[in-house]
Structures are given as structure tokens and as C-alpha cells.
Amino acid sequence: MYELVQVSERCYYINCPAKIGIYVSEGNHVYLIDSGSDKDAGRKVRQILDKNGWHLAAILNTHSNADHIGGNKYLQGQTGCRIYCGGIEAAFTKYPVLEPSFLYGGFPCKELRHKFLMAQESEVLDFSGDGFPEEIKVIPLPGHFFDMTGFCTPDGVVFLADCISSRETLEKYAVSFIYDVGAYLETLDKVEKMEAAMFVPSHAAASAEVGELVRYNRNKVYEVAERILSICREPVCFEKILQEVFRSYGLSMNFEQYVLVGSTVRSYLSWLKDGGKLTAAFEDSMLLWRCL
């Protein structure tokens, strides 16, 4: 864990639960793609940078999930580096309580206010801000989260953030977190058509070819959607839908999984309703979902 892997002349990634990318610019200045899950991850990153004689110029955050921005505060405090993040992700990075609040739909109880869902706050600049490396291309990859982005380096390495999960992860958990199902499917279509010297997803193996894995992720989305539709043959409330999703996929429920899978199921319900496959009605002060 935290092994440094070179993928091109100027690009590396640190092999950890959410891969951290490294682009080496002129004069041994480096740009990190994300920063890991917490202060300890940030400390390990700095040790790697120091060992290689690299100076941290900036962190480029793909999105604001805690496992991608958790090392921001430590590294910024230690090095004074700039941090760049775009759109709504910047607000979540500045005010990380927004993540568990959004997932839960209200003030999060203490079981949700921990480093896996709520990083420490950090100061960020927009991608259009001064000092952003012009040679790195920002690639919009919405769907998994609000304004998630990937990055393409001059030597053709594309860091894909969380837009595809490994086959092993999907086989184990089945329901990957998705904020906007429609946008996510469009992103998968976009990634499937991309060409790169190397793709580096955050939660799957680096590879020069990701088409097969993209298709597996897409098929899993449609499988989950069909599972939800089958649950909704008769009018059913959200909590019952969620219970059946957990049961059918053999998932274990705790506060963290309740909000992550629950938020995702709500996103599927919205997508299916907007697509004319579900209807929703209020009966006896309860919102019920049913197939059309």
C-alpha cells in the first residue's frame, strides 16, 4: 500500500484505496491528483514526495468525496500548496459537513460525522484560477458526484476519478454510489470513446484499455435499475425498497451504508420516474413508488 507506480515519463500514481495521481512538471514541481483519505494519507504522500526530491506545487481535486480530499488540509498546511477544485465540489471541499448532510438529507448524527464521509476543510481555487497548470486538460465527468472531473496530462495519461469501479468491487457491493444516473451513463459513453496512453481510475486497475470495464459498469447500472423496478411492481415506500435492495444483494446495513446506498437508490428512483418507468403518489401521508 502507498507504493509509487510509474505509468509514463512524467506520470505516476500512489497505489492506495483511492489512487493519488502525480504529474511531474518542470523543475521537479509536481501536481497531485487528489490527496487521499486523511492526514495519515497526506503524511505518506509527503514522504514519497520528499524521497523523490519533488516540490508540491498544487493539488488538483477530481471531486469532494472525503477519500479524495482527506489529505488536503495536512499537505496545504505543510507545504503551502494551492488546491484546485471545480463547481459545487469546491463548496463541499470548503465546507465538508455538506457531504454527510447531503447524503443523510438533514443534520448528520455523530455516526456520520467521521473522516470517511467528512474530511477536514481546505481552501480551494477554481480551475480557472491563477497558477493552474495550463498543460493539464480538465475533463468533466459528472454523474458519480455533482461536478466530478478527470485530468489528462500532456503525455496522454487520463486520471478518471470514480467514474468506473473495478469488477471485484461491483461483484462485492453491486450498488456503486451514483448521484445522477443519467449523467453517469453519459459519462460512461464518453469514457468508452476516449483514447489514452494510460487510464488511471481511482478504484480500478490502471490500464491502456477500459472499454470492457466501462461496459461492465454500465450493465450493472441497468441491472440495479431492473432490480428496483421489480421491487416496485406494487406500491411501495422508499424504506421498503431500500430494505429489498440490501436483502437481494446481501449487503450489511449500518449508518454509512444506509446513506450511501440510500442516496443512490433515491437517485435511481428519480431517474426512473423522469424516464417514465415509475410513478409516485402520496397515500396516507406516505410516498409510494410503483412501476408504470
Q: What SS3 state is found at 12?
A: strand
Grid cell, residue 62, equals: 477530481
Rounded Cα distance between 6 and 143, Å, is 29
Rounded Cα distance between 66 and 277, Å, is 33
The ranges of the chain with pLDDT < 70 are: none
Half-sphere CA count of 85, side-chain side, radius 13 A? 28
**pLDDT of amino acid 193:** 98
**pLDDT of amino acid 35:** 98
pLDDT tens digits, one per residue of 234-274:
999 999 999 999 999 999 999 999 999 999 999 999 999 99
Rounded Cα distance between 44 and 182, Å, is 37
The pTM of the full predicted model, rounded to 2 decimals, is 0.97
Rounded Cα distance between 260 and 269, Å, is 14
**pLDDT of amino acid 88:** 98
pLDDT tens digits, one per residue of 72-86:
999 999 999 999 999
**How many other CB atoms are there within 10 angstroms of residue 143's CB atom?**
23
**pLDDT of amino acid 47:** 98
Rounded Cα distance between 151 and 62, Å, is 8
**pLDDT of amino acid 242:** 98
The CA R_g of the chain, rounded to the nearest whole Å, is 20
